[in-house]
Chains A and B, each alone.
Chain A
Amino acid sequence: MLAYILRRLLYAIPILIGVNLLTFALFFVVNTPDDMARLQLGAKHVTPEAIARWKVEHGYDKPLLLNAQATGSARFTDTIFFRHSASMFAFKFGKGDDGRDIANEIRTRMGPSLAIALPVFVIGLMANITFALLMVFFRSTYLDLWGVVLCVVLMSISGLFYIIAGQYFIAKLWNLLPISGYAGGIDGFKFILLPVLVSVAAGLGSGARWYRTIFLEEIGKDYVRTARAKGLSEARVLFRHVLKNGMIPILTGAVVVLPLLFMGSLITESFFGIPGLGSYTIDAIQAQDFAVVRAMVFLGSFLYIAGLILTDISYSWVDPRVRLQ
């Protein structure tokens, strides 16, 4: 098991290098270091000297990938790509192009991101399962039919509308919750409520419908019929057996996103003014802050790979037939 995890982590290195190269290529195809300097220095009174100084200061004065003037290994190491990427593998992110320390920023923004993403994940899972169970429980009545229709309707609404409607009605018209903002600690409760509510509602349609099919599949299996034949009540069958066994595919499927919860949600965070990592990424993309984008992509892919490993582990855990090798 340990050896497996270690090997997977080693596999991650070429992937991370690839991710880094791709990000790097995408960025510098369109932006020269001069462009980046100009963007950071602003529009008024920018002199060529200031641009040259900015590039030296931020380490963009070297060749991009290959330093023809250097000798030996310095041909590859004395370049923008190497100098900026190598330190990432030690999780040293350096400073953003705006001069702020990235690691520091990540530390302070992780909390707010998790404060939204974790409740969304947990409550969302619970709400989806509850809704799905309700439909399965009443599976031959009008409730199931209309429940599925409701699911499809909910799925067909763009996520933006949920946010706009939530802010407009709940916060603006009915004065129930603050429309946006964030505070740490217990005060943060009422800021988190609206984004969590909206995100859960936005995911309810597709989630509940998917879980419903999982439960229905489970309900058709032999052991359920046996249980029923033993005279167990329908509710008992549902909660004792179907829910328990249905949870296995649901949870193993959900594990992959667990590490990514740190990264937060891009859209929700910008809309609700949550100072998390999602809005950090979006801001960096819009401001073309390469240092931050690179760090966030690196972190994101690292967490994604961690999620894949976790998934494998959880599979082998619930199903002993799957062996990690």
Chain B
Amino acid sequence: MVRIGAILSKLGLLAIGLSLLAGCTDNWNNPYPGSDARANVLYSAFSERPKHLDPARSYSSNEVEFTGQIYEPPLQYHFLKRPYTLIPLTAEAVPRPWYVDAAGKTLADDAPSSAIAESVYEIRIHPGIRYQPHPAFARDEAGRYFYHAMDAAAVGGKTRISDFRHTGTRELVAADYVYQIKRLANPRLSSPIFGLMSEHIVGLKALGDALEKASRAHPDAELNLNDFPLAGAEVVDRYTYRIHIKGKYPQFIYWLAMPFFAPVPWEADVFYAQPGMADRNLTLDWQPVGTGPYYLSENDPNRRMVLKKNPYYHGETYPVDGDAADRQAGLLADAGKPLPFVDEAVFSLEKETIPYWSKFLQGYYDSSGISSDSFDQAIQFSSGGAPQLTDSMRGKDIHLITTVAASIWYVGFNMLDPVVGGLGEDRRKLRQAISIAFDYDEFISIFLNGRGIPAQGPIPPGLFGYVDGVAGLNPYVYENRGGRIVRRSIEVAKQLLAEAGYPNGRNARTGAPLVLYFDTMASGPDAKSRLDWMKKQLDKLNVQLVVRGTDYNRFQDKMRKGNAQLFEWGWNADYPDPENFFFLLYGPNRKVASGGENAANYDNPEFNRLFERMKDMDNGPERQRVIDAMLDIVRRDAPWIFAYYPKSFGLTHGWVHNVKPNLMANNTLKYRRIDPGLRATRRKEWNRPVLWPIVLLFAVLAAAIAPAVIAWRRHERKVA
């Protein structure tokens, strides 16, 4: 017993000593051991590891969070201006296309779409831009590449890019941009936008076919893209290139602001193609090579990703033009200063919400990221007012930043369904009635804490074609009551339902209750409440809802076959143009049969005709008129219940500056500025360890054991 006691006390001393050792340098709960508390480092998190970092492949937002900082397409979105405005990034100016007819003759800018055979975009980039340091560029004195002809043995010991001793850089040239456009057609990369772009870029499809053939012929050989010509992309001179687009496609300009059209140096492809590289995850898909303000210095997607300042960055300054609101928010305090501000950004993997949220509150994450579900919990919502932070949050100097995202959530009706689909008057009324019953105003308040705006149509705010206020309300679901948008009463819905042939939720002919089926792949912690809410909505109409939960594959399958009835879906804008939302309702894009993105399989000839006209028009009153007409058609037909436009939403600590959510731009890290001194003080203050529970624990243990020990001692003595 004595010995146990001695061992225990030694162990206890050891534990205390160790924790003191940890405690004297740092807060005990600091998740970044060994880091300098006052370094100019931004701390953030990612919840899902990115799948692709190759600019030809990455598409999802969690990937673009990294590629956006590393790669530089020719254009970018202005950080502050709204509506979203394109400005040059590596280009000297935003290109204006010129049009040529089938004979190759240049046309006037206002030529009719039908006459235009090709649009030509000429882009001239700034000279003197250099790539990040990378071994692919490293050359010896004679100009020979160090690492372009390695054998497997030489690659052997290398597991990270930093294992290569020599690095180099090179000036960015126009040919790099053209090279990347060719990469989009490389069958071995299977770029997600190849299908779409081959319809627009001249010769891209032919290039894809040629590459496919070459790839089949020599399955083991690398494809050298420089050997294959692409008719639609030409290098004019060292700093200038041209892209040829079939017909007129005004939305193309927006694609030029996405990493898909960022430059990729051919050296990188040669470097990574060497034997043994891919086995060590040394591929362009994992180790990007770009010209942007940051480069990926550590890539451990199981734990953390670190972006470091690119020493060769060409330099850019903080924007000087913003409106009064930006000035008031302090967003212009750094106007004209050189970018980027932060030296390093550390992204840690954080899958569970409780740790994520707790670390943010403890000051170990600087901002909450944009659309993480857990963070809305700090918000109190009030049905009348704007979302507000709770008092305890405000006490911690945490700031709330909201903006309406360029996206929409909707509940789609499958227009091929015999009960809810079709364009007949009765079906239309049925859908309108259901649209009224689904009280998304309440949904927003319960589930989103006010982080959304009830949708009035397919176009979210901030895009051309959206009309603000009562003028833009959806008259079939809402009404104007003294300048306020108010949902129509449930009585109206009941009336519509009766006119649709279901008085009080019963089929007027058979008396059978109307039963609707809602397909969903919801499975998160919130799923049960949401589904209960859905049922509650239709209860109001005495209509019965059966929820059919399923998994991703089954859901996709149902959508493709058109077996669903009601389903929930969302769309994030690729670019800020109404075409990107209306095409979701364009007949020829139907999901069933043609495999498009029109999941509701809505097909109204009049709407289709207007869409074809609208998509090629330039923004202006004429286009607005067409859009209004289209809006009226879809609101009347109600193929969707326009649910809500989500508000994207961020929480930041007081030491983070220059945060303005920009849903289009993905390269905003360079604007971010932090105050590490303030952060260090706050962290210290917020994370004082509380020791009494440990003391209490030992006291309780002692109190429990002591009487027994005493009794035993007495017993021993008696025996002895």
Contacts and interface: CB of A to CB of B under 8 A. Distances in A.
23 contacts: A38-B556, A39-B553, A44-B59, A49-B195, A50-B194, A57-B188, A104-B280, A104-B281, A108-B300, A130-B4, A137-B712, A138-B708, A141-B708, A164-B354, A169-B693, A176-B689, A176-B694, A179-B29, A190-B28, A190-B33, A191-B31, A234-B716, A275-B300
A119 B348 CA distance: 24
Contacts of A31: 553
B47 to A, nearest CB: 10
A46 interface: yes
B58 to A, nearest CB: 10
Interface string A257-273: 00000000000001111
Interface stretch (A9-17, A83-91, A95-103): A95-103
A176 B30 CA distance: 9
Interface stretch (A181-189, A217-225, A247-255): A181-189
Contacts of B22: 189-190
A213 to B, nearest CB: 20
B192 interface: yes
Contact of A189 (B18, B52, B690): B18
Contacts of A272: 355
Contact of A109 (B31, B193, B302, B359): B302
A73 interface: no
Nearest to A40: B51
Interface in B15-62: 18, 22, 27-31, 33-34, 51-52, 59-60
B196 interface: yes
Nearest to A270: B351
A177 interface: yes
Given A143-B705, A174-B693, 16 more contacts: A31-B553, A41-B192, A42-B59, A45-B196, A53-B187, A100-B281, A100-B286, A141-B712, A169-B693, A174-B689, A175-B27, A175-B28, A175-B690, A178-B29, A182-B303, A183-B34
Contact of B690 (A44, A143, A176): A176
Contact of A168 (B52, B193, B354, B708): B354
B350 interface: yes
B349 interface: yes
B358 interface: yes
Chain B: interface size category: 35 or more
B688 interface: yes
Contact of B29 (A177, A270, A271): A177
A177 B29 CA distance: 4
B355 A175 contact: no
Contacts of B705: 134, 143
A235 interface: yes
Contacts of A48: 595
A40 B552 CA distance: 12
B711 A141 contact: yes
Contacts of A105: 302
Q: Which among A38, A44, A168, A279 has the greatest number of chain B C-beta atoms within 10 A? A: A44
Contacts of A177: 28-29
Contacts of A183: 33-34
Nearest to A50: B190
Contacts of B712: 137-138, 141
A270 B31 CA distance: 16
A6 B354 CA distance: 48
Interface in A182-203: 182-183, 187, 189-191
Nearest to B1: A235
B362 interface: yes
Contacts of A53: 187, 190
Interface string B343-383: 00000111110110011011000000000000000000000
A167 interface: yes
Given A98-B51, A104-B279, A176 B29 contact: yes
Contacts of B349: 273, 275
Give the top 5 A-B pairs by smallest Cβ distance, nearest first.
A275-B302, A187-B33, A180-B355, A174-B690, A47-B195
B22 to A, nearest CB: 6
A318 to B, nearest CB: 25
A45 B193 contact: yes
Contacts of A101: 278-281
A92 to B, nearest CB: 11
A171 interface: yes
Contact of A167 (B51, B60, B279, B358): B358
Contacts of B553: 30-31, 35, 38-39, 288
Contacts of B279: 101, 104
Given A42-B60, A190-B33, A50 B358 contact: no
Contacts of A171: 29, 355, 358
A50 B29 contact: no
Contacts of B471: none
Contacts of A288: 553
B689 A273 contact: no
A42 B192 contact: yes
B348 A181 contact: yes
Contacts of A104: 279-281
Contacts of B285: 99
Given A190-B22, A270-B352, A273-B350, A180 B708 contact: no
A306 B286 CA distance: 35
A173 B690 contact: yes
A316 B281 CA distance: 45
A169 B556 CA distance: 42
A228 B303 CA distance: 56
Contacts of B556: 35, 38
Interface string A114-152: 000000000000000010001001100111001000000
A110 B361 CA distance: 31
A54 interface: yes
Contacts of B624: none
Contact of B350 (A38, A108, A180): A180
Contacts of B691: 174
Contact of A143 (B60, B694, B704): B704
A39 B552 contact: yes
B195 A167 contact: no
B708 A143 contact: yes
B355 A142 contact: no
- The residue among B4, B190, B690 with the most chain A CB atoms within 10 A of its own CB is B190
Contacts of A234: 716
A207 to B, nearest CB: 18
A30 B384 CA distance: 47
A58 to B, nearest CB: 11
Given A174-B689, A175-B690, A167 B351 contact: no
A200 B123 CA distance: 63
A187 B22 CA distance: 9
Nearest to B553: A35
Contacts of B59: 42, 44
Nearest to A186: B33
Contacts of B303: 181-182, 275
Contacts of B352: 180, 270-271, 273
Nearest to B2: A235
Contacts of A98: 51
A50 B31 contact: no
B34 A187 contact: yes
B28 A273 contact: no
Given A176-B689, A189-B18, A46 B31 contact: no
Contacts of B27: 175
Contacts of B195: 45, 47, 49-50
B504 interface: no
A108 B33 contact: no
B251 interface: no
B147 to A, nearest CB: 20
